[in-house]
Amino acid sequence: MAFVILNHELVEAEKATISVQDRGFRFGDGVFETIRVQAGVPYQFDWHMKRLEAGLKAIYIAFDATLLKIDCKTLLKRNDVKDCLLRIQVTRGIGSRGYLPQLSSSPTVVIETAPLPPFTGAPVSLLLSRYEKISPKAYPTQFKLCQGLNSTLARMEASEQNCFEALLLNSERQICETSSGNIFWLKDGTLYTPALDCGVLEGSIRSAVLRFSPYPVREVRTDLDNLMQAEAVYICNAAWKILAVEKLQPAKVQWQSNPLASTLNKLLDQDIASYIQTYGGFWKSA
């Protein structure tokens, strides 16, 4: 029986419910994080907490995050999972039918565990989405807001076309990200990735790759032509780690398989191992 933590209480997952009046349900009015857990340790936990808190601040949800760490530890122990995804969602809570929140609303917080998808290392295909990425001028897109329809529609479209993922451009037709991950490409010994001001959600694995890449990394604003001339392309998120991309539809571009994907994943595994070494004490203690 899996449990979740709902407002700091352990609850059986099937019995964990929130009010239909919660603004998370009414409007997607909240923020979430998805954290990779290995050997019982949530990788880059403090980084995720910092992004969560910055996201909540950006949408004016006042939330005290001090209990989250102990809540996460309680849940991982109760569900007895060592390798999983940890999903934390904070919404504005109950209050108001219309858009203007009541000042009295009190945040709802849900923590869940989910299985890690199997890592095959096989290259994947991307579909160039007909949906445009939401502009950072519309709301703070750099955070994982519970506004998932753009990503959902793009991902469904990709799946329908037998592609693993969708590539989204921003309103200036610049490369932005996939529906659930960041993108990198290799050319002439440099690793490129869209700059944050393209409207990119700064993912945890993206930030890690920037730290340990064996090639210089350049954050750029560029268009599809540039990507099509790349030697190799990669996508990443906390669930996938780093995946090689073999083709982009319907552009009919095929990229060579390149040993960099496995090199990057080895460096990521080392980084995770080192993180566990440094920060594992808290998570492994009774």
Q: What is the DSSP letter of 131?
A: S
Beta-carbon contacts of 186 under 8 Å, excluding residues fewer than 6 positions away, are 192, 215, 230, 231, 232, 233, 234, 258, 260
The smaller minimum CB distance to a copy of itself, of residues 17 and 104, is found at 17
According to DSSP, residue 139 is labeled S
To a copy of itself, the closest distance from the beta carbon of 173 in angstroms equals: 11
For residue 129, the minimal CB distance to a copy of itself (Å) is: 10
224 binds a copy of itself (CB under 8 A): no
Three-state DSSP state, 262: helix
Q: Which is nearer to a copy of itself, 20 or 286 (CB)?
A: 20
Selected from 10, 59, 224, 267, the binder of a copy of itself by CB under 8 A is 59
13, 62, 67, 122: which one contacts a copy of itself (CB under 8 A)?
13
- Min dist CB 280 to a copy of itself, Å, is 25
Q: What contacts 133, CB < 8 A, 6 or more positions away?
A: 141, 150, 168, 169, 170, 171, 176, 177, 199
**Burial 55-82, CB ≥16 within 10 A → b, else e:** bbeebebebeeeebeebbbbbbeebebe
Reported as type and span, the H/E element at residue 154 is helix 149-160
State whether residue 114 is helix, strand or coil: strand
- Rank residues 73 and 87 by Cβ distance to a copy of itself and give the closer one: 87
- What is the crossing angle of helices 68-79 and 260-284, to 10°? 100
Buried b (16+ CB within 10 A) or exposed e, 167-201: bbbbeeebbbbbbbbbbbbbbeeebbbbeeebbbb
Q: Which stretch binds a copy of itself (CB under 8 A): 23-31, 203-211, 219-227, 253-261?
A: 23-31
Number of residues that bind a copy of itself (CB under 8 A): 59
- Among 68-76, 153-161, 189-197, 204-212, the segment contacting a copy of itself (CB under 8 A): 153-161
- Give the binding range for a copy of itself (CB under 8 A) out of 66-74, 143-151, 207-215, 257-265: 143-151
Q: What is the DSSP letter of 208?
A: H
Please, which of residues 70-99 interact with a copy of itself by CB under 8 A? 85, 87, 89, 91, 97-99
Task: By CB under 8 A, name the one of 134, 191, 205, 264 that touches a copy of itself.
Answer: 134
Q: Please report how close the Cβ of residue 75 comes to a copy of itself at its closest, in angstroms.
A: 13
> Which of residues 154 and 232 has its CB atom nearest to a copy of itself in the complex?
154
Name the residue with tokens 């998805």: 34
> Which residues sit at the interface with a copy of itself, rule CB under 8 A?
4, 6, 13-14, 16-29, 32, 34, 59-60, 85, 87, 89, 91, 97-101, 110, 112, 114, 131-135, 137-139, 145-156, 159, 171, 179-180, 239
